[in-house]
Amino acid sequence: HATKKTMADHLRKYEALFNLTPQRMRMIVEAFKESLELGLSKHGQIVPMIPTYVFGWPTSQELGNFLAVDLGGTNLRVCLVTLEGKGKFEITQAKYRLSEEQKQDEGQKLFDFCGECLKAFVDANHESGLIPKGSVLPLGFTFSYPCAQDRIDHGVLIRWTKGFGAPNTEGHDVVEMFRNSLSKHQVPAEIVALTCDTTGTLIASHYVNPKTRIACIFGTGCNAAYMEKVQDIPKIANLGIDPEMQMAINCEWGAFDSFEHENLPRTKYDQTIDESSNKPGEQAFEKLISGRYLGEILRLIICELIDEGVLFLGQNTYKIEIAYSLDTAFLSLMESDPTDELLMIIGIFNHFFALETTLAERQFFRALAKLVGRRAARLSACGIAAIVSRMGYLDEGCAVGADGSLYNKYPMFPERIHEGLFDIFGEKGKNVVTYRAEDGSGIGSAIVAAMTKFRK
């Protein structure tokens, strides 16, 4: 007679779906490399490979006081960074919460608010004596939304992302707008550089660790930046920049394989996420990797098994059937549960979803989390490997500064990236080492401002 499938039987099916063989990874790396090259050669490609106008590496000897302003997703952050040379620095900072209304209100008002906060911050630091009265400090502005730049102190917003929608900003030079706000509030600061967080991370990480060649972000989204010789960026060949100079490239690699969907191993869960997202077809690589989606992948598998009558028979499952109700942070917790009974997983399902679980189910969930998390790390390794291979960094080795909650908090994420690099490159893969990056939008932005100032 037919026997009922055990959870272990079910698991085998998912193992086959989420496994990535070394051979498959190498194929992805090759396609990734081609995509990077295409982005460097022509404008408007899938992986846009954005020139940042940050020229060359910092020397680690940059000195002085700098302001840094980061207009990120939830907060406005303002920092005073004192670069002390020899890769050392001090930082003082303040955060201001942005309301949903401010994100949708008139654009100039948003920058005026930034100016107002910066003014308050500078005044407070005049009193504390950290900023000498009468000085005008150079300012690095971190603005991580797609901008068209043709020099470092200029950037036209192409479109808002991350829930911003302030009118009369898209199509405008955001540096000019912010500059207006600074003069309106009489802030003693001069904007010298506009950067994104990934480029800032690259520069900050190199400042403290000169072996750094690449920076990656694994957070809500995923992205990477690295340094390219100007002569190897054909799409800017006509700008008359010294071809021997190096320029940081903001890859925006989350877009790899978008629309064509030819290279990445997408399961039907990944397809569902894509189709029901607000931007179907876009950010294909990011949707398999970043913190925004990993929890949702696991949730979709669980929902499939609920529909098949395998899980939670007789229980009310409406809570877990709500889209995006399973945060990626839960996967971290599941994987790091130290108890034999998997008490953490009991707690998660009980508390957040009002569901009872058996030990076999909990072991199954933990194994699923591992499959999803491991695939994300191995795909991340493919992206890193594509840059390493393009730039010929394998023999001498290089360091990769990485930031974001996924990298910093998901158990084994760095180890799994390293394992992936070993599977792609063999023994030499061990020459590529990731480490926790420095704060890109504070320190990095200040260093970029310093580099710009010294070049002038």
The amino acid present at 404, given as its one-letter code, is G
159 is catalytic: yes
- Nearest residue to 203 (alpha-carbon basis) of 62, 382, 394, 32: 62
Shortest Cβ 296–ligand ADP spacing (Å): 10
213 is annotated as an active-site residue: no
Q: Is 329 in the site for ligand ADP (CB under 6 A)?
A: yes
How far apart are alpha carbons 340 and 110 in whole angstroms? 51
Q: Which tokens in the block code for residue 199?
A: 């480029």
Judged by CB under 6 A, the stretch of 27-35, 93-101, 388-396, 400-408 that binds ligand ADP is 400-408
Distance CA 342, CA 190 (A): 55
Which of 77, 185, 287, 292 touches ligand ADP by CB under 6 A? Answer: 292
142 or 332, CB closer to ligand ADP? Answer: 332
CA angle 417, 422, 427 (to 5 degrees): 150
Reading across the β-sheet that carries 50-55, which strands appear in turn? 50-55, 246-250, 222-229, 212-218, 398-403, 432-436
Nearer to ligand ADP, 120 or 412 (CB): 412
Using DSSP's 3-state secondary structure scheme, residue 192 falls into strand
Nearer to ligand ADP, 1 or 351 (CB): 351
The residue within the footprint of ligand ADP, chosen from 24, 409, 428, 453 (CB under 6 A), is 409
Catalytic residue among 70, 112, 153, 197: 197
Residue 356 structure tokens: 């009872």
In order, the DSSP letters of 305-344 are: HHHTT-S-TTS--TTTTSTT-S-HHHHHHHHH--STT-HH
Considering the complex, state which of residue 121 and residue 410 has its C-beta at the smaller distance from ligand ADP: 410
CB of 89 to ligand ADP, least distance (A): 21
3-state SS assignment for residue 403: strand
Q: Which is nearer to ligand ADP, 180 or 408 (CB)?
A: 408
By C-beta, is 292 or 390 nearer to ligand ADP? 292
Q: Which of 406, 417, 421, 448 binds ligand ADP (CB under 6 A)?
A: 406
Segment near ligand ADP (CB under 6 A); pick from 103-111, 182-190, 228-236, 398-406: 398-406
Give dist(CA 193, CA 204) in Å, integer.
Answer: 14
Residue of 404, 429, 440, 442 that binds ligand ADP (CB under 6 A):
404
Retrieve residue 354's tokens: 């009002």
By CB under 6 A, is residue 291 in contact with ligand ADP? yes
Query: Cα torsion at 117, 123, 127, 131 (round to 10°)?
Result: 100
Could you give the string, one character per residue 63-102, with x where binding to ligand ADP holds by CB under 6 A and - elsewhere? ----------x-----------------------------
Cβ neighbours of residue 313 closer than 8 Å, sequence gap 6 or more: none
Report the nearest approach of ligand ADP to the CB of residue 165 (Å). Answer: 18
Scanning 103-111, 296-304, 322-330, 358-366 for contacts with ligand ADP by CB under 6 A, the matching segment is 322-330
What is the residue-wise DSSP string for 209-256? -TTEEEEEEESSSEEEEEEEEGGG-GGGGGG---TTSEEEEE--GGGT
- Active-site annotation holds for 173: no
Give me the catalytic one of 35, 144, 332, 380: 144
Quote the CA–CA distance of 176 and 168 in Å, as a whole number: 13
Residue nearest to ligand ADP (CB): 219
What single-letter amino acid sits at 160? W
Does residue 420 interact with ligand ADP by CB under 6 A? no
Cβ closer to ligand ADP: 73 or 265?
73
Q: Give least dist CB 179 to ligand ADP, A.
A: 26
d(CA 434, CA 443): 19
Give me the least distance between CB of 361 and ligand ADP, in Å please: 22
Among positions 330-359, residues that touch ligand ADP (CB under 6 A) are 332
H-run or E-run covering 426: none
Count of Cβ atoms closer than 10 Å to residue 177 Cβ: 20
**Smaller CB separation from ligand ADP, 196 or 450:** 196
Here's the x/- map for ligand ADP, 207-226, by CB under 6 A: it reads as ------------xx------
- Which is the catalytic residue, given 12, 151, 159, 436? 159
List the one residue out of 339, 297, 328 whose CA is nearest residue 411. 328
**Least distance between ligand ADP and beta carbon 291 (Å):** 3
Q: Does 103 bind ligand ADP (CB under 6 A)?
A: no
378 burial via Cβ count (<10 Å: 0-12, 13-18, 19+): buried
Cβ proximity to ligand ADP: between 83 and 215 the closer is 215
CB 138 within 8 A of CB 169: no
Closest approach, Cβ 197 to ligand ADP, in A, equals 7
| Catalytic residue numbers, as ranges | 144, 159, 197
Residues of the shown chain interacting with ligand ADP in the complex, contacts defined by CB under 6 A: 73, 219-220, 291-292, 327-329, 332, 404-406, 409-410
